[in-house]
Structure formats: structure tokens, C-alpha cells
Amino acid sequence: MVIVEKMHIADIPLLHIVNQSDKDHKTPMVLFIHGFTSAKENNLHYAYYLAEKGIRVILPEALYHGERSKQYDTNELGMQFWKIVLNEIEELHTLKQYFEQKQLIDSNRIGVAGTSMGGITTLGALTKYDWITAAVSLMGSPCYSTLLKGQLSSLQQSGVKIPLTSEQIEEQLKLLERYDLSLQREKLNNRPLLFWHGERDDVVPFAPTYQFYKEIVPMYEKEPNKLKFIADPLADHKVSREGVLALVDWFVKYL
């Protein structure tokens, strides 16, 4: 039986999902990050499938979302987007340490994944943490600097006033470069990485992510099975069942 436990670790609300028979034993673990304006509960189906396979799953609540909401409207929340992403990257380490200290996880079998903003966070986390064994990005992008520029351009075209000076924008770009996987591909270090992306995605552009994938293919020449890109020609910004099951299979294989 799969159990769902509501927890708080270092003021981070989360759901802990595990097969009851595995609850008190060391298991592989997947940290799964939800998308922008979503919440941890919205990804329980991923966690259920993984827990059935013997994988412990942690669904954290991102800053200003769900239980941590500050009642921002979408535009106000959008202005906090990168603060949320970078905060989530930092909190992943806190969560990993907790379950490690409780001796509930195999430290050599830790996966990170997420949808949309969660996929973006996952790819940034790969630049910072070598303890990530395998990763899955669903509708994410590694191109932090390009994404920020696109977001600012979109806001300007929509008539939204950006409360940042040119200097502040430049500072933000420099900060994001530290987490931009497209600028430091060597940090992948041949770790298993799966992408799923709808070709009709109008929220997180498909093309830059696919271009990044094509550019890193030679890095996996000796172990090509560790890198995969599933492009869905009919999908927009919603993960198909094929994408869900591909994520489960990926972690079963590499964790």
C-alpha cells in the first residue's frame, strides 16, 4: 500500500510518498518539483507510480505556492519567478540531507524531476549538485539567461511595467548564469537525463531546449542510452500519459 505523509522540514511543506513496506528502509529517492502556480498535491500521480516501484518520493511546496502562498496575483508571482526557482534549488539540499540523516535513502540513488518551473529548477540543480544521480525535465529549459530575456520581452509587449532598472536586470542575468546548464554543460558529467516537451508549448519554448539536447548528444557518445528527448508533436504545455510513464521508467532504470 502506498502511503502519503504530510510533513514540514525546515519550514518547507512537503508530501512524503512511499510504499508502506519500504517506509523504514533505505530506498532510492526522487525529489519532484511542481510547476508555476501549481502545488505539490498536483503531482501525486507521479509519486504513486514511483512509490509502487520502490522509490521514495518527496513533493516539496515551492516558495509562494500552495501552503506558502502570499496571495500574489499571477503578474506579481511572475516577478518572483527566479527567486522561487533559486530558492527551490537551495531547498533540495536541505531535504536530501534530512532523509540522508534519517538513513532512509540510498545516497547513490537520488533523482530530481519536475514539470515546467520544476523542470527548469531540475536543470539548474544539475549545475550545483553532483549528488543527483539521474534527472527528468518535463517541459523545462536549461537556458536560464535566454528565458529571463524572453520573459522580460513578453512582459513589455503585454504592457506590464517591469520594476527593475537596467543594472538590476544585468545583475539578475549574472546570477542566473551560475545555474544556466547551457553555459556549463560539462557539469552533466554523463548523468542520465530525460527530456519530455510538447512541440506546441506556448509557455516554455520547445526549440531552445531541443537545441540544447542536440548540442549535448556528442557528450553521451559512449553511453547514448543515458540521454533521451521525447518530443510530442501534438502536445502543448501539458504532460501526456506517455511522458508520465517515461519518467517512471527512467527512474526505475537509473535509480
Mean pLDDT over 233-243 rounds to: 97
Per-residue pLDDT band for 43 (boundaries 50, 70, 90) equals: very high
Confidence of residue 61 (pLDDT cuts 50, 70, 90): very high
Give the pLDDT band of residue 106 (cuts 50, 70, 90): very high
**Is 10's pLDDT higher than 80?**
yes
- How is the beta sheet containing 193-198 ordered, strand by strand? 2-9, 12-19, 56-60, 27-33, 105-115, 134-138, 193-198, 227-232
What are the sequence ranges of the domains in the chain?
Answer: 2-254
pLDDT in the model for residue 156:
73
Q: What ranges in 8-73 are assigned the alpha helix state H?
A: 44-52
Q: Which CATH number fits domain 2-254: 3.40.309.10, 3.40.630.10, 3.40.50.300, 3.40.50.1820?
A: 3.40.50.1820
pLDDT tens digit sequence for 144-202: 999 988 888 877 777 777 777 788 888 989 999 999 999 999 999 999 999 999 999 99
Task: For residue 137, list its beta bridge partners.
Answer: 114, 195
